[in-house]
A = this chain, B = another copy of it.
Amino acid sequence: MGKQNLTLMTDLYELTMMQGYFRNKDRNETVIFDAFYRNNPMDSGYSICAGLEQVIDYINNLHFEDDDIAYLRSLGIFGEDFLDYLRDFHFSGDIYAIPEGSIMFPREPMIKVIAPIMEAQLVETAILNIINHQSLIATKTSRVCFAARGDGIMEFGLRRAQGPDAGTLGARAAMIGGCVGTSNVLAGQLFDVPVKGTHAHSWIMSFPDEYTAFKTYADMYPSACILLVDTYDTLKSGVPNAIRVFTEMREAGIPLTFYGIRLDSGDLAYLSKKARKMLDEAGFPDAVISASNDLDEYLIDSLKVQGCKITSWGVGTHLITSKDWPSFGGVYKLAAIQDAQSGEFIPKIKLSENSEKITNPGNKKIYRIYEKDTGKIKADLICLVDETYDENEPLVLFDPNEPWKKTKLLPGTYELRELMVHVFDHGNCIYHSPKVMDIRDYCQKELETLWEETRRLVNPHGVYVDLSQKLYDMKISLLNQMSQV
C-alpha cells in the first residue's frame, strides 16, 4: 500500500523552503523546532503521547532514492545543485521527546528538534502526521477505558479506519491507551499485542440453523467460546441456543474456561440484564456478556450507570477514528536560531492576534511536579534547558496568563521529574523504544498520577502548565520588542 520510505511524505513547501535555505542561508544554521498542541482533544483533561517509535523509524530511514530525485526533477522547480545535495541527505541533528504512553498537557513540547534548518524543516510534516494520529487514538482509548470502569476494551475498528495504517498504527495506539486486545491480526504480528475475535453474522447465516453454527464453533474453539447471539432473535433464539451449547459442553466434560455471548444490536442495557438472568438460571454465572455496536465512552458510561451486565466491550468506529474529534492539533513551530558566532540560541516567537497561538520561545525542557504524599500530578513547569531546581528549596509557581496568581510549594511536599528524553544525538538514535505492552503498562501507571477529576469525561479539572520566571520574562521581552510601534 504505502512505501516503506516515507521521505517524500512531506508537504511540497518543506522542499521549496529547503531549496530556499540551501541557496540563501548558511546551510549549517542550527534551529530549534517544537512540536506541541494547544488543546486536548475531546475536551479531555489530558492527552497521551504516542507514535515516537514510528517517528524514530522515519528519521532512521530518511533518504532520497534515485526515483525520488527523478520525481523531484520532473517538477521543474528544483535545481541540480539542490538535487545533488538531497542525494546525500540524512538527519544529523538532535531530537528530544516525551516518551510514549506519557500523560501530557497543552503547550508542552512533545518533540523538540535541534538540527540544521533544512533537516528540521523537512521532517515537520511526517512527525506531525505520526504523533497527531497515534496520540489522538491513545487519548480516545484511555477515555473509553475510563468509562468501562476496569472492564476490558477490545479494538474492533479496522474496517472503519481511515486506511490501512490508520487501522494498524491505530490499533497500536489503542493498545498503548489501554485496550486489552485488537481484532487486527497485522497489528498483533507487528507489535506483539493480543489479538481477539470470534465470529460474524455470516458464520451463523452460512449454516442451516443457529444451533448448528454455535455448536460447530464451540467444538472448534472451546477455550475461547464467545457466541454472537443476535442474528435472528437475541432472547428467543440466540441466548437459548448458546445455553444449549454450553450445557452440552459441560455434559461432555469440556472445561468452560472463557465462554459467553456477544450482543451486537438492540437495547444493550435491557438485553444484557435479561441474558444475564437466563445464563445465571441455567447455571452459567461466569459466562461473559460482551457487547459491540457503535459504542463510545459516553454510551458505555451510560450503560454502566443503567446497571447493564456487560463486562467486555468491543469498540470499533468511534475509537479507531476518534469519531467525535478526529484530529489532534499538533503544530511544529520555530523556537530558536543558533547564532553562528557565539553558538547561543536566539529565541524566536510567533505572534498572533489570538494570544493562545503565541508560541513559547527558546530551548526548553519540561518538569513534572508531583505531590509527594499522593503521587498525583500537581502541575507541569516549562523552563529553559539551563535552569535547575532544588527539591530542598521552596518552589514558586505562577499562572502565565494571570501571573499574580502564585502558589508556593514547600520542600518535602513535592517531587520533580524531567519529562523529555534524548532520542537522537547528532543523527544517531540513542533511545530504545519499549515494547508496546510495556508502554501500555507505563501508561496505566501514568494515568494513576491523575486525579479522578482530571480523568472524568465531561468538564474535567485542568492541570496547570506553568512557565519558569526566566522563560516568562524572555517571552514578555520578545513580545514587547515585536510590538513596538
Interface residues in chain A, defined as those with a beta carbon under 8 Å from any beta carbon in chain B? 1-4, 6, 8-17, 19-21, 23-25, 31, 33, 54, 57-58, 67-68, 71-72, 75, 77, 117, 121, 124-126, 128-130, 132-134, 136-137, 156, 158-170, 183-186, 188-190, 195-203, 205-206, 216-217, 220-221, 224, 231-232, 265-266, 317, 321-323, 326-330, 332-334, 337, 348, 350-354, 357, 482
Contacts and interface: CB of A to CB of B under 8 A. Distances in A.
A136 B8 CA distance: 24
B159 A162 contact: no
A53 to B, nearest CB: 11
B160 A329 contact: yes
B31 A206 contact: yes
A206 B337 contact: yes
A221 B77 contact: yes
A334 B188 CA distance: 27
B6 A199 contact: no
Contacts of A190: 3
B2 A333 contact: no
Contacts of A124: 159, 200
A9 B71 contact: no
A121 B201 CA distance: 11
Contacts of A161: 129, 133, 162
A273 B147 CA distance: 49
A184 B9 CA distance: 6
A112 B11 CA distance: 37
Given A19-B220, A164-B165, A12 B183 contact: yes
20 contacts: A2-B2, A2-B186, A4-B4, A9-B158, A12-B188, A12-B195, A12-B197, A16-B221, A20-B203, A21-B206, A33-B202, A77-B221, A117-B206, A129-B158, A130-B163, A130-B164, A133-B166, A160-B327, A205-B348, A323-B327
A12 B3 CA distance: 25
A321 B327 contact: yes
A30 to B, nearest CB: 12
A145 to B, nearest CB: 20
Contact of A232 (B8, B17, B134, B351): B351
Contact of A165 (B2, B126, B202, B350): B2
A160 B71 CA distance: 25
A7 to B, nearest CB: 8
Contact of A202 (B169, B334, B354, B357): B334
Nearest to A266: B353
A159 B57 contact: no
A121 to B, nearest CB: 7
A296 to B, nearest CB: 12
Contacts of A33: 202
A483 to B, nearest CB: 10
Nearest to A220: B20
Contacts of A184: 9-12
B350 A201 contact: yes
B321 A189 contact: no
A113 B137 CA distance: 32
Nearest to A232: B351
Given A20-B220, A353-B266, A159 B132 contact: yes
A19 B219 CA distance: 12
Contact of A2 (B72, B168, B357): B168
Contacts of A353: 265-266
A206 B13 contact: no
Given A25-B206, A206-B21, A185 B10 contact: yes
B206 A125 contact: no
A224 to B, nearest CB: 7
Given A1-B54, A77-B224, A200 B162 contact: no
A170 B163 contact: yes
Nearest to A160: B327
Contacts of A3: 186, 190
A17 B200 contact: yes
Contact of A350 (B16, B68, B231): B231
Given A8-B185, A197-B13, A203-B17, A162 B321 contact: yes
B24 A205 contact: no
B334 A9 contact: no
Nearest to A163: B165
A198 B350 contact: no
